[in-house]
Amino acid sequence: MGVGNILLADEGVGVHVAQRLGTMDLPPEVEVIDGGTAGFELIDFFRNKKKVIIIDCLKTDEPPGTIIRATPQELDLRWPLAFSAHQSGLRELLQQASLLTPLPEIIILGIVPQKTDEASMRLSRALESKVDKIVQKVLETVSSF
């Protein structure tokens, strides 16, 4: 599941990666979701899933394009995080989903952005050059499940 706002440059990295994955020949048990800025509308997606990979923008002090692989627990979802600025954040989505349905095993691939404060449907050069690497990391994560 790629989430983010493609109108705000790197904020949409998860959607760009999901779109790339959607053009690939993946195993039939793999479903690619462009979650965009759907927020709480994505809660139903978690029902009856065993494992979910979420690709999203993750603002940290690391260099742009850094890929951070973590579980929700490792990111400590009880405390505010600087995830992207969609209608609702990833933290809130997972908290609400956990109240309504048992959550599947979740891996988050957080991508450190370079630009999220300007209107653009294009990724920054720093992230555009990393899309293939991010896709490869998703495929490696899928095969490790």
* Residues 96-109 pLDDT 10s: 888 888 889 999 99
CATH of domain 2-144: 3.40.50.1450
Which residues, in sequence order, are bridge partners of residue 2? 34, 55
* Residues 132-141 pLDDT 10s: 999 999 999 8
Sign of CA dihedral 131, 134, 139, 142: negative
| Angle between the N-to-C axes of helices 131-144 and 13-22, in degrees from 0 to 180, rounded to the nearest 10 | 70
**Which sequence spans correspond to the domains of the chain?**
2-144
Tell me the pTM.
0.85
Distance between CA atoms of residues 10 and 134, nearest Å: 13
